Structure formats: structure tokens, C-alpha cells
Structure 1
Amino acid sequence: MAEINHFEYGWITPTLSYALSVLGSVIGLVCAGRIRTATGAGQRAWWGLLAAWSLGGTAIWAMHFMAMLGFAVEGTRIRYDVPLTAASTAIAVAAVGIGLAIVGTGRLSAVRLIAGGLFTGAGVAAMHYTGMAAMRLDGTLGYDRARVGLSVAIAVVAATVALWLSMTVRRGLAIAVSALVMGIAVNGMHFTGMSALSVHPHERRGELTGTEVGSLLVPIILAVVFGVVGLVYALLAAPTDDDRAGAAYLAARQDGAVPGAAGEPAPDPVGLRARSTLGQPGTPFPSRRDTGRR
């Protein structure tokens, strides 16, 4: 059995992977909050896409491969199959997106939350082991089933908590604390799954195919850039207090809670409505008797 080193560069890669998971979680929670305040299906879909990319693409996928930069196996180089690596990205983003759609459609309930957590957690685990299957090295991969099951359980619990937080957390401090907790959960799942891995070396069978792990820095950086842009956009698009007050007033008018609804005109104590009709076609000019002037 080959010797495995998960921290070839010391604590640099796990620290950066944790930072990525926290950053993606913050962005995802902020964007998920915009889903609740969206006024149309198009806006909800847009914010849902940004939240799915932030959580699935940055907090989970980019974190995974950042941690893999510090992964090494004695006696062999490691390369990654590009199509499988891309598939792992799609799995992570799609799993989070579908989970958000499950819990975000209609009223949040325990059934929706559990269903979304199970689906998303299974997707996160599938992303992890798809990324591991993308590795090309001079050896055969083996897994401890008990630890694999534990990693899947952690993924499901972490996904369920993440979906619940995405639908309930609103304030900045709560979002920050939640992101720190989510970062611990995501990294815990990753390194639990990695601890289940063993590599049985075999003789070199020729040149390894695929891309080197250093080449993954480019998509990782792009994931972070798009995530940060999404966060900035979400913050700029946040409704102000005036926007909320205006929306509440319009809703009250539609419900008939304020004058002006149900076809009844609002009070006009100073006669502004009458003055606004002067000069319009068909409107007679008021006489001195009408205006009270002498």
C-alpha cells in the first residue's frame, strides 16, 4: 500500500480550502436571501442560479480541488481526467440548485427540508467521489466502506443544515457565523472521505493522461471571481428601506387597506386633483363662483 500525504504543503491548502468554503457559503446565503425577496419567477431563477453556483461551485467544488492540491501519493504523479472533473462541477452545482428549488418552492416544511437535504447531500458526495475517480495515477484506489458511509452521512446533514440556513438566515452576523459552520461541515466531509482512501501501487503502465493538478488553479480562481462578482451584484441589488416601504404601500393599496383601492379615490383635502384637470380637453374652466374668488 502506497503512503498517502494529504498535506504536502502543510496547512496552506486546508486553510485555503476552508476559506473558499466559507466565502462560497457567504455568497450562497446572501443570494439565497434574495430568492425570498424576488418579485418574479425570472428573478427567483437568477438568484437561485447564483446561489447554486456559489455553494456548489465555490464552497464545495473549488474547496475540494484546493484541498487536492496538497494531496500526494508516494512513488507516482497524479493527473486528472478533464471530462470527469467537469462532470463533478456540474454535479455539485445541479445538486445544490435542485435542493434550493425543493425547499424554496412553497412553504418551508420538514418534508421539503429532509428531501432537499437528502438529494443535495447525495449530490455533494457524488461530486466528491467523481472528483476522486477523475484521478489518474500508478495505482488502484480502494475505499473503506464505513468511512465512505460516514462521509455521505456528513454530506447529507451538512446539506440539510445549509438549505435550512439559506431559507432562514437574513442578518449579516448570522450569515457570517453560519458560513463558518458550513465551512467546517464541508471540509469535515471532504477529509473524512479522503481518510477512507487507500492506494495500491502497480508498475508504471505508460504515460499518465489528463491534466496536472496545478492546472486546476485556473478554474478555481474563476469560480472565486464569479462568486465574488455575484456577491457584489447581490449586495448592490439589495432592496433599500424606501423600496420595502414602497412595496408595502402598494401591497396595502391592492388589499384595500389604504384609500385609493377598490375604485375609491384617495382624500384630496387641498384640491390638487381638481387643479390637475385644468387645461385638459373637455374640462370646463371654473368660474369665479366655483373657485370662490370675487
Structure 2
Amino acid sequence: MLHTHHFAYGWVTIVIAYAMSFIGSLLGLQCARRARSSDRAGGWLIAAAIAIGGTGIWVMHFVAMLGFSIDGASIRYNVPLTLASAAIAVVVVWIGLSIVFRGRRAGRGVWTLLTGGVVTGLGVAAMHYSGMFALRTDATITYSPGVVALSVVIAIVASTAALWFTLHVRGTLVSVGAAIIMGIAVTGMHYTGMVAMHAHRIDLAPAPSGADGVQLLLPLMIGVSVVTMMLLINVGLTDNEGEDLRIAPATGGAGGPTGGLR
């Protein structure tokens, strides 16, 4: 069995990967908070899905993959499958968010939260392993079923917690705390899935085809990061921290109505 490295560049990749997961999660929570009080909830849910699924999960995964190497083997990536894994991450988070938000309005919060968590968690696991399937190498890759199952359980629990946060988190400090937890959960799921993988030598194996990590992943991650920054600016420009304030009529001293805030 060939030795695999998950930190080929030291701790820099895991630190950056966690930072991207934290940023994506924090931005997604802020977008979800807007969705709870906006007439355009659908647009904010899409923005939250891009932030959490695109940056918090997918970018985190492939930043971490930049630090992955196999002794004596080359690594390349299938471009269409890599792009498909990004789409999976965004779509499954959007589905999970849509399920829990509709359930909340219909008064079925607990069951829809569990359903959304399972659907999203399975989707996150699908994103991880489709991303790994996009990896091309001149070694044979196998997985430990028990560790794979554990990574799926972690993905479901993390997704359920993340969806709960999107429904209940209010305030900047609480959002930061929730994003810290979400980042730890997503990063932990990734490295648990990576522990499940084993590489074995193949004699006279042909060189793998595809793009290498820097050629493929850096432009994609930069693109997703630019979208994230645009969302961050948009959230900042539309900040409604005082979302519980509503314009309401108030009664003046002479009995006439006057405008007031409550």
C-alpha cells in the first residue's frame, strides 16, 4: 500500500480550508437570516446555498485536496466531474434550506429539519466522493466501508446542525460562533472521508490524464471566492440587523395616529 499525505504543504492547506469553510458558513447564515425576514426569500436562499455549498463545502474540500499527495503516484482531476461536484454541493444545500424553510412556515419544523438534514448530509457526502471520483491517478484507490459510513453520519449530523442554525441564529456574535462549529464539522467530515481512502501500487500503469490541481482548482476556487465576495458586499449593503423593527401606528397624546417604531 502506498503512503498518502494530507498535508503536503504543512498546515497551510488545512488552515486555509477551514477559513474558507468558516467564511462560507458565516455568509450563508447571514443570507439565511435575510431570507427569514425578506419578501425575496427565494433569492436569499440561493445566495445562502452558494455561500455554504460553494465556498463552505466545495472550496474547502478542494483547498484541502491541494495538500493531498500519494508517494510515487501522479494526481490529476477530471474537469467535468469536478464541476459536477461543485453543482452537487450548491444544489443539495439549496434543497435542504428550501425543505426546512417551507416546513417552518407550515409548522412542521422538527420533521422537516430532520428530513432536510438527511437529504443535505447525503448530498454533501455525494459531493465529497464524486470529487474524489474525479481524481485520476496511476494507483488503485480503495475505501474502508466503515470509515466511509462514519463520514456520511458526520455529514448528516453536520448538515442538520447547519440547517438548524439557519433557522434560529440571530446576531453577529452568535452567527460567528455557529460558523465556527459548522467549519469544524465540514472540515472534520472531509478528513474523515480522506482517512477512508487507501492507495495501492499498479505496475506499469499509464500516466493519468486530466488537469493537475493548480491548473484546475485555483481558477475555480478564485471564481467561487469572487462570487462569495460579491455576496458579502451585497449582504453588507442590505444589512437589516434590526430585522425585528417594524413600522407600526402609534397613538399620539391627542388621540391622533402618529408613525412609530416598535
TM-score, normalized by the shorter chain, greater than 0.5: yes
Q: Is residue 2:82 matched to residue 1:85?
A: yes
Opposite residue 196 of structure 1, the aligned amino acid is A
| Residue matched to 2:168 | 168
CA distance in structure 1 between the aligned counterparts of 2:183 and 2:37, rounded to whole angstroms: 25
Three-state SS of the structure 2 residue aligned to 1:203 is: coil
Q: Deviations over 1:51-83 (max 9, x none)?
A: 000000000000000000000001111000001
Q: Is residue 2:107 matched to residue 1:110?
A: no
Three-state SS of the structure 1 residue aligned to 2:62 is: helix
| Residue matched to 2:133 | 133
Three-state SS of the structure 2 residue aligned to 1:87 is: helix
Q: Is residue 2:222 matched to residue 1:221?
A: yes
Q: Deviations over 1:216-246 (max 9, x none)?
A: 0111122122112102201211237599433
Three-state SS of the structure 2 residue aligned to 1:208 is: coil
Q: Verify the 8 A CA contact 2:137 2:207 in the aligned structure 1.
A: no
Q: Is residue 2:32 matched to residue 1:32?
A: yes
Deviation at 1:108, TM superposition (A): 5.5
CA distance in structure 2 between the aligned counterparts of 1:182 and 1:168, rounded to whole angstroms: 14
Residues 1-294 of structure 1: pairs in structure 2 closer than 5 A: 1-39=1-39, 43-105=40-102, 106=105, 107=107, 109-215=109-215, 216-239=217-240, 244-246=245-247, 249=248, 267=256
Which of the two has higher C-alpha Rg?
Answer: 1
Three-state SS of the structure 1 residue aligned to 2:67 is: coil
Three-state SS of the structure 2 residue aligned to 1:114 is: helix
Three-state SS of the structure 2 residue aligned to 1:206 is: coil
Q: Verify the 8 A CA contact 1:31 1:50 in the aligned structure 2.
A: yes
Bigger mean CA offset, 210-219 vs 111-120: 210-219
Q: Verify the 8 A CA contact 2:57 2:186 in the aligned structure 1.
A: yes
Q: Deviations over 1:179-232 (max 9, x none)?
A: 111111001000000000001121343332111001201111221221121022
Q: Verify the 8 A CA contact 1:92 1:124 in the aligned structure 2.
A: yes
Identical positions, percent: 44
Q: Verify the 8 A CA contact 2:147 2:195 in the aligned structure 1.
A: yes
Q: Verify the 8 A CA contact 2:139 2:205 in the aligned structure 1.
A: no
**Residues 208 and 196 (structure 1 numbering): CA distance in 2 closer, same or farther, change over 3 Å?**
same
Output the TM-score relative to the length of structure 2.
0.91
Q: Verify the 8 A CA contact 1:31 1:48 in the aligned structure 2.
A: yes
Unaligned 5+ runs, structure 2: 258-262
Q: Deviations over 1:100-151 (max 9, x none)?
A: 0000112461101000000000000000000000010011110001100000
Unaligned 5+ runs, structure 1: 260-265, 269-294
**Paired residues, number:** 252
Larger strand share, 1 or 2: 2
Three-state SS of the structure 1 residue aligned to 2:246 is: helix
> What's the C-alpha RMSD, in Å, of the aligned pairs?
2.0
**Residues 112 and 2 (structure 1 numbering): CA distance in 2 closer, same or farther, change over 3 Å?**
same
Q: Verify the 8 A CA contact 1:27 1:228 in the aligned structure 2.
A: no
Q: Deviations over 1:12-44 (max 9, x none)?
A: 0000000000000000000010110112xxx11
Deviation at 1:152, TM superposition (A): 0.2
Q: Verify the 8 A CA contact 1:31 1:231 in the aligned structure 2.
A: no
